Chains A and B, each alone.
Chain A
Amino acid sequence: MTDQPIVRVLNVSRYFKRGTERVNVLNRLDLDVPEGQFLALMGPSGSGKTTLLNLIAGLDTPSEGEIWVGDRCVSKMNEAQLARWRNAHVGFVFQFYHLLPVLSAYENVELPLLLLPLTARKRREQVMTALELVGLKDRNSHLPSQLSGGQQQRVGIARAIVTDPTLIVADEPTGDLDAKSAHEILDLLNVLQRALNKTILMVTHDLRAARRADRIQHLDKGRLVDQPDEELYEAG
């Protein structure tokens, strides 16, 4: 891990219009994430965690402010540029895995590689490496329906890392798993961070999961807060 920030969130606000009303989800927020850091974002429901994650991953654009990832200003890119950038630089892990049910584990992991100019052989190498990393090489031909929740999430992680992205964003990756599977997934994220020096941003409600990160950042009402009010989490 270096001190050089790979993610820089500069004075970012995000608001939505609901009729004539303006709803502020993020409020002039600043955040730096050093390269190779595992950051957990915590906060009560409605605090803006997922919105912040979506903005950093280039799935949404801020109403105000700038977001830089590496030397690229993500908030200034158009939709096509963002799609290309996400494909090469961001791995996304969902709470509910979101694997395509008609594709095998192998094919799900291969999906992001279809967009890159790689030979079939090179794709195969990368897919098998990713599946080996998550311990599912021998299950590569299984459909998602033939895998447990934990295994599906590991396929989701393999899909997220198969392009060797700069950044892995995980939105409550253990939220749908039992304790044992959640533990295994967090172990895996730790391995990715330490062995491959991946920068990981994880949104979670689970304090035990958050404690596996290098740093925990709390959000409340669209702002970063230093000390969370314990009551905030009771609702979440």
Chain B
Amino acid sequence: MKFLMLILKNLRRNILRSALTSAGVMVLVFVITLIWSILGFLDTVTSEKTSNFKGIVTEKWSIPSQMPFSYADTLENGAAREDTDIKPMDSMTWQFFIGTTEKGKGFSLKTFVFAFCMEPKKLLTMMDELDSLAPSPKAELEKAVEAMEQNRQGIIIGQKRLAALEKRVGDRIKIFGVNYRDLELECEIVGTFPLGRYDNNSCINRDYLNASLDAYKASQGKPHPLANKTMNLVWVKVPDRDSFAQVSNQIDNSPMFTTPPVKIETASSGVANFLAAYKDLLTILRWALAPSIIATLAVVISNAISISVRERRKEMAVLKVLGFQPNQIMFLVLGEAILLGVVAGSISSIGTYFLVNRVMGGIPFPIAFFSSFPVLDGALWWGAAIGFATSFAGSILPALSTRSIKVVDVFSKVA
């Protein structure tokens, strides 16, 4: 504590240099926080859970997966046929509807709509993150889900998408199908998703899409080209790995799914397969960019501390004359670097956490199904840890060099 004053005064010695070094640390910790948050989030969604396993059923040999809706009931029951077969705890079907709000004016970010067509109530039990909301946003979503169940033309839209469409809750929109050509859905906006993962997504009641396909057949005299290929994914939730293996076995051995055949994989491996297209980008982020930034951070601190030590050789010699031990002088130098690194790193990562999560609603980095990423809770201590580690690494050599400062050399003069 007695030396803290000395450390703080030394940091104030050259305020511009301390401020610039702090700014460098903050910028680099900011970038690292964003990168680690994206990678950490993807690691979480691609890591196997030990309980509440989710499986994804897709078409076996074709991408994109397009299954007939007639598979839905059987798959949602895990293709259980015998009394001893296991049925999933919960399930949902996904039909992707991609559309635009302005017919004939092209496809733009301002008019684009991407919707999961599904049973509305499954939003609350099967959708990642939406199944574990805080009480207030959960109540909002429940209200919207209830509205969708009462009005099958209801649509829930992510907040950023809603803003881009320049619409509000209560407005009606017409969505012209892009993948479902010649299909028009007229929806009423009944609510929004909480800020975060689903900011750019929407949800439409699957009954409305299926009814629209039926109406298309009635009006056109022939089924829609995608009528028999409308179901893209089926999600099933099972209690543990063993149950997943049995459900997987039931589906694989079921005679129901021949044209087309289907496969089931864990949600994490499904997402991981989806992310395979981004493998190189993620590898560069993880193994090249992040380590380079950390190394740069250490060099920035090392440079500042080296200059500072060189400038203060005489002062350090004076401290030795006054009785300071070499280790105490070394710790003073380390203390300056670490204090600067930890404080600047903490401010940066904690600031990033609140800015991105509370103000921006996530890191806008559209990849796979994810339009934005939250800054992970770990960021609250990452900044301090990165600041500590890099400032220690950057300052240890200059600090060690102070141990060998010889008073008689520093004050040497011919006597």
Q: Show the binding face of A for B, using Cβ within 8 Å.
A: 43, 45-54, 57, 59-60, 79-80, 83-84, 86-88, 92, 94, 98, 100-103, 107, 111-112, 114-115, 159, 171, 203
Contact = CB atoms under 8 A, between A and B. Distances in A.
Nearest to A104: B9
Interface residues of B, number: 26
A59 B321 contact: yes
B3 interface: yes
B63 interface: no
B408 A112 contact: no
B385 interface: no
B407 A59 contact: yes
Contacts of A92: 321-322
Interface string B397-412: 0000000000110010
Contacts of B2: 114
Contacts of A43: 415
A203 B315 contact: no
Interface stretch (B172-180, B282-290, B323-331): B323-331
A115 B324 contact: yes
A26 to B, nearest CB: 10
Contact of A51 (B13, B325, B415): B415
Interface of B: 2-3, 5-6, 9-10, 12-13, 314-315, 318-326, 328, 407-408, 411, 413-415
A92 B323 CA distance: 11
B9 A83 contact: no
Contacts of B324: 83, 87, 115
B400 to A, nearest CB: 15
A160 B213 CA distance: 95
Contacts of A46: 414-415
Nearest to B11: A102
B9 A107 contact: yes
Contacts of A203: 415
Contacts of A103: 6, 9
A45 B415 CA distance: 5
B322 A111 contact: yes
A88 B323 CA distance: 8
Nearest to B415: A50
Contacts of B320: 59, 83
Given A45-B415, A114-B2, A203-B415, A84 B323 contact: yes
B323 to A, nearest CB: 2
A79 B322 contact: no
A86 B411 CA distance: 17
Given A59-B408, A87-B322, A92-B322, A114 B3 contact: yes
Contacts of B314: 98
A50 B412 CA distance: 9
A175 to B, nearest CB: 11
Nearest to A118: B2
A123 to B, nearest CB: 9
Contacts of A59: 320-321, 407-408
A74 B200 CA distance: 77
10 contacts: A47-B415, A51-B408, A54-B408, A84-B325, A100-B9, A100-B315, A107-B5, A107-B9, A111-B319, A171-B411
Nearest to A45: B414
A88 B12 CA distance: 30
Contact of B415 (A49, A111, A115): A49
Most chain B beta-carbon neighbours within 10 Å: one of A48, A50, A98: A98
Nearest to B9: A102
Contact of B12 (A51, A86, A87, A102): A102
A48 B415 CA distance: 5
A86 B321 contact: yes
B325 A50 contact: no
Given A100-B318, A102-B12, A103-B9, A87 B415 contact: no
Contacts of A88: 323
8 interchain residue pairs of minimum CB distance: A87-B323, A50-B415, A102-B9, A49-B415, A98-B318, A112-B322, A114-B2, A46-B414
A43 B314 CA distance: 25
A86 B318 CA distance: 12
Contacts of A54: 407-408
B9 A80 contact: no
Contacts of B328: 115
A121 B1 CA distance: 15
Contacts of B325: 80, 83-84
